[in-house]
């Protein structure tokens, strides 16, 4: 007898299509909801997006010693002694030649102007008046030179190189009205001798305004070494600034044997100027777009192109990922030197998740300690400069003036670990990191960062910006068996510099010789900026004789060079980036 046939269940068969239809409907609604709430795919910047990312290990200690220094660093040292042909200032300085300069920009851009002003005065065999700091630009800091730098140390340390006076020369009890002019950016020594010296011989007191990067990057060795003596030895902060900076370093050391200093520029003004997009959707576009409208001369931005070319500052999260990929563990303490971060704590949250031990001068200082400096942006920047300089590793998310100055200084004083992001090569890694394992990502980051870690000989001598790569002031230790007693490998001390009187690096022109000299044509010829003098029509001023009785002290300090709105706008834009 056969088995009875099983009965069919028609109702189960009828339910299957209905269930499938419901599932499909639920899936469609879910996808639609995601599509509506998420920004367009093209808008998702890897720095702030929340795409799936294989994160670094949640807990990891920093073990590799090479993260805190280079094995080759001990083979090099800073050397800025002058050669025997560099005349003492008592011989080189000519009477009736005075140079006044007015710096421009933030603290570190002004620092480059001060350094170059000393060298320019030496080229002109002139007496330098202590530089006047920028008190009117974007940074709006009323501090004068002596409130930031030790003025007496500055004058005494450079006494054998150049004569420096605190106040402009007087005539008949009144300050002599200077003859105002500018030189092109990156003006060579020959450019100064041709353009400035004749006016200096005739007018005796020259005032150069907006003095930033007005001297050639490439100079002969003795002048480059003078740059280093000024930058790394003569410019010393005042005691109150230095004392607080050193206290903060000590407090960081009490928390950890090693620490990283991070210079983080991510302010709304800077981001708006860069034209970069960071994944904040319509709010970000609206916020930064409104700021960009203040500057009519800005071109329409191409955020993607800027990122590809490495012109966009790294986000705080990207800096954190870079450091973790290089091998720094979450146990590392970070000192952050920054302004007001766009997006506030929400923007900083990913970085703090990667490095919970996050500190600032505000968190490390008491209210009483910080109050004297709060109203002065340059003094606050100086405190950050000291802590960043004293860190075991320094990293920046940008390529601004502070990053360049500190990079050069840290090379000069022992090639201390200095990390400058290779933004152009990091961009595709940050963009595609969601498709890589953490091991793959970190391995590729280490490859593209070779040559950007502050190691010796990363840049060929003569290449790169001098303030960042002071090759003329970096010496390699000679083999002990080959060293000779006369070798010029003494490390400069902080109390004096050995000098020998010999032939000058540049001619010492007398008035008669200069008037009849046939200096060669200015080799700069870049057309970047024409020289501007008081009687140049572009300034809207007429020349005023130095002995004009109507010339008052107030008139001497008046700057009327920048009378056009376009030029004012350009200066404001430049100032935003001039940290």
At residue 560, does pLDDT exceed 80? no
pLDDT tens digits, one per residue of 317-339: 999 999 999 999 999 999 999 99
Q: Is residue 74 part of a domain?
A: no
Q: 444 and 374 in one domain?
A: yes
Whether residues 278 and 379 fall in one domain: no
Helices 316-326 and 423-432 cross at an angle (nearest 10°) of: 90
Give domain status of residue 56, yes or no.
no
Give the range with max mean pLDDT: 6-10, 226-230, 515-519: 226-230
Instruction: Give me the pLDDT at residue 142, please.
Output: 92
- Read off the DSSP letter of residue 99: E
Does 154 map to a domain?
Answer: yes
The CB-side HSE value for 528 (13 A sphere, CA atoms) comes to: 12
CB atoms within 10 A of CB 118: 27
Q: Could you read off the pLDDT of 540-557 as tens digits, one per residue?
A: 333 333 333 333 333 333
Question: Which residues pair with residue 178 across a beta bridge?
Answer: none
| Backbone torsions φ then ψ of 303, nearest 5 degrees | -55, -40
The CA distances from residue 422 to 307, 309, 419, 486, 571, in Å, are 12, 10, 9, 41, 28
Residues 350 and 273 in one domain: no
> pLDDT tens, 60-88?
676 577 899 998 999 999 999 999 999 99
The answer, yes or no, to whether residue 499 has pLDDT greater than 70, is: no
Q: Specify whether 224 is located in the same domain as 288.
A: no
223 and 251 share a domain?
Answer: no
- Identify whether residues 191 and 327 lie together within a single domain: no
Are both 284 and 256 inside the same structural domain? Answer: no
pLDDT at 351 over 60: yes
CATH number of the domain encompassing residue 416:
3.40.50
Contact 76, 458 (CB under 8 A): no
The rounded percent of the chain whose pLDDT value lies above 90 is 59
Provide the pLDDT for residue 231. Answer: 99
226 vs 110: CA distance, rounded Å: 17
Quote the number of domains for the chain.
3
Is pLDDT of 572 > 80?
no
The phi-psi region of residue 264 (left if phi > 0; otherwise alpha if psi is between -120 and 50; otherwise beta) is beta
Paired strand residues for 533: 181
**Domain of residue 387, residue span:** 238-264+313-454
Pairing of strands 179-181, 76-78: unpaired
Instruction: Mark whether 138 and 205 lie in a shared domain.
Output: yes
The most confident of the ranges 41-45, 236-240, 398-402 is 236-240
Residues 288 and 366 in one domain: no
Within a domain: residue 129? yes
What does residue 416 show for φ and ψ, rounded to 5 degrees? -70, 150
Asked, for residue 66, whether it belongs to a domain, the answer is no
Residues in Cβ contact with 37 at an 8 Å cutoff, skipping those fewer than 6 apart: none
Given a cut of 50, is residue 459 above it in pLDDT?
Answer: yes
* 313: nearest Cα among 396, 376, 378: 396
Give yes or no: residues 448 and 572 share one domain: no
Listed ranges 285-289, 320-324, 481-485; the one with the highest mean pLDDT = 320-324
- Within a domain: 1: no
Of 98, 297, 182, which Cα lies nearest the Cα of 541? 182
Task: Say if 366 falls within a structural domain.
Answer: yes
Q: Are residues 291 and 163 in the same domain?
A: no
Higher pLDDT, 113 or 507: 113
The answer as to whether 460 is a domain residue is no
- Regarding whether 254 and 229 lie in a shared domain, the answer is no
What is the pLDDT at residue 382?
A: 98
């Amino acid at each position: 007898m056969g088995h009875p046939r099983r009965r069919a269940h028609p109702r189960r068969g009828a339910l299957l299509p209905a269930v499938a239809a419901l599932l499909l409907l639920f899936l469609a609604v879910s996808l639609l909801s995601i599509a509506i709430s998420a920004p367009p795919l093209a808008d998702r910047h890897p720095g702030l997006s929340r795409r799936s990312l294989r994160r670094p290990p949640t807990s990891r200690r920093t073990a590799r010693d090479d993260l805190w220094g280079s094995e080759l660093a001990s083979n090099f040292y800073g050397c800025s002694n002058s050669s025997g042909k560099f005349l003492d200032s008592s011989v080189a300085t000519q009477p009736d030649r005075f140079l006044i300069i007015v710096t421009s920009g933030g603290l570190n851009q002004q620092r480059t102007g001060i350094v170059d002003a000393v060298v320019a005065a030496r080229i002109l065999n002139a007496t330098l008046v202590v530089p006047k700091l920028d008190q009117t630009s974007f940074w709006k800091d009323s501090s004068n030179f002596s409130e930031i730098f030790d003025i007496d140390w500055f004058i005494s340390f450079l006494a054998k190189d150049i004569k420096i006076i605190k106040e402009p020369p007087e005539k008949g009890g009144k300050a002599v009205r200077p003859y105002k002019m500018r030189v092109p950016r990156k003006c060579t020594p020959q450019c100064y001798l041709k353009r400035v010296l004749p006016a200096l011989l005739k007018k005796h007191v020259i005032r150069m305004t907006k003095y930033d990067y007005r001297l050639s990057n490439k100079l002969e060795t003795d002048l480059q070494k003078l740059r280093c003596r000024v930058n790394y030895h003569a410019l010393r902060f005042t005691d109150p600034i230095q004392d607080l900076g050193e206290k903060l370093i000590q407090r960081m050391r009490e928390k950890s044997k090693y620490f990283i200093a991070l210079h983080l520029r991510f302010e709304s003004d800077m981001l708006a100027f860069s034209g970069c997009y960071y994944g904040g959707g319509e709010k970000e576009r609206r916020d930064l777009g409104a700021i960009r409208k203040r500057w009519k001369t800005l071109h329409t931005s191409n955020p993607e192109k800027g990122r590809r070319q490495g012109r966009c500052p790294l986000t705080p999260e990207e800096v954190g990922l870079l450091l973790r990929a290089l091998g720094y563990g979450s146990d590392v303490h970070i000192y952050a030197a920054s302004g007001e971060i766009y997006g506030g704590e929400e923007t900083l949250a990913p970085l703090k998740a990667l490095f919970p031990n996050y500190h600032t001068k505000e968190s490390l200082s008491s209210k009483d300690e910080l109050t004297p400096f709060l109203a002065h942006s340059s003094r606050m920047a100086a405190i950050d400069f000291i802590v960043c300089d004293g860190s075991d590793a320094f990293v920046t998310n940008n390529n601004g003036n502070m990053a360049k100055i500190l990079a050069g200084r840290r090379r000069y004083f022992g090639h201390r670990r200095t990390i400058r992001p290779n933004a152009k090569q990091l961009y595709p890694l940050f963009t595609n990191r969601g498709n890589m394992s953490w091991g793959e990502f970190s391995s590729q980051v280490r490859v593209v960062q070779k040559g950007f870690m502050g190691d010796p000989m990363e840049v060929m001598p003569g290449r790169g910006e001098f303030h960042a790569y002071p090759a003329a002031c970096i010496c390699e230790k000679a083999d002990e068996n080959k060293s000779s007693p006369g070798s010029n490998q003494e490390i400069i001390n902080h109390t004096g510099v050995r000098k020998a009187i010999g032939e000058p690096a540049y001619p010492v022109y007398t008035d008669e010789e200069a008037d009849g000299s046939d200096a060669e044509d200015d080799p700069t010829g870049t057309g970047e900026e024409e020289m501007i003098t008081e009687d140049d029509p572009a300034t809207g001023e007429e020349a005023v004789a130095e002995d004009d009785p109507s010339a008052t002290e107030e008139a001497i300090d008046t700057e009327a060079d920048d009378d056009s709105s376009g030029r004012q706008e350009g200066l404001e834009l430049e100032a935003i980036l001039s940290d």
